[in-house]
Amino acid sequence: MKRVLLMAGALLGARPAAAQTPPAKAPEVAVFAGGCFWGVEAVFEHTRGVMSAVSGYAGGTVRSPSYEEVSDGTTGHAESVRVTYDPGQISYRQLLEIFFLVAHDPTQLDRQGPDIGSQYRSAVFYRDEGQRRAAEEMVAQLTARHMWAGKIVTAIEPLRAFYPAESYHQHYLTRHPDQPYIVFNDLPKLDRLKQLYPSVYRDPGVD
């Protein structure tokens, strides 16, 4: 992690820019999976240029799965976050950088911290070939720069469907900032976002 702190921001030649951006374009969508969706959602809710972040499920075969079904690890879904953003303020490539360097540890296979199972896998669900190429290039660049000590195991998969999670999962960190899981696992991610990318960190986050 110390290496990430030292090298982040230099990766793309500059940190994501928040001020003096071009006029807003049509909103675009990105979908990421990186362990429990509470923390990933919170990171993007506090990223300037993000219009909404929704916790949900992607990558599986069951339509409209419940949290209990996904938690059993039998549906093929991963806990995921759908990020709607303004490309005039932040790019997909910059969101990828934040996903890989802030939102989770991409070297953990089928788990994230205390959460174990394929439903907690690291994945980028691409919506078109441009997103697929950007994700592959990001993994190659991070690997070449040895940003993580271990091998990046993030799956790059086509997005076939996204199902929003139950309402009690949405904005979970904002609603439960003192919950022990949040305090130990997710609040440090917001600190890391603020430290690595102060130009895009915002507080409070988007609703």
- Cα of 188 vs its chain's centroid, Å: 15
Distance (Å, rounded) from C-alpha 172 to C-alpha 165?
11
Full 3-state SS string of 131-157? HHHHHHHHHHHHHHCCCCCCCCCCEEE
Report in angstroms the alpha-carbon separations of 178 from 172, 185, 198.
11, 12, 24
Q: Catalytic annotation on 6?
A: no
Contacts of 175 (CB under 8 A, 6+ apart): none
* Catalytic site residue from 8, 36, 43, 78: 36
Residues with active-site annotation? 36
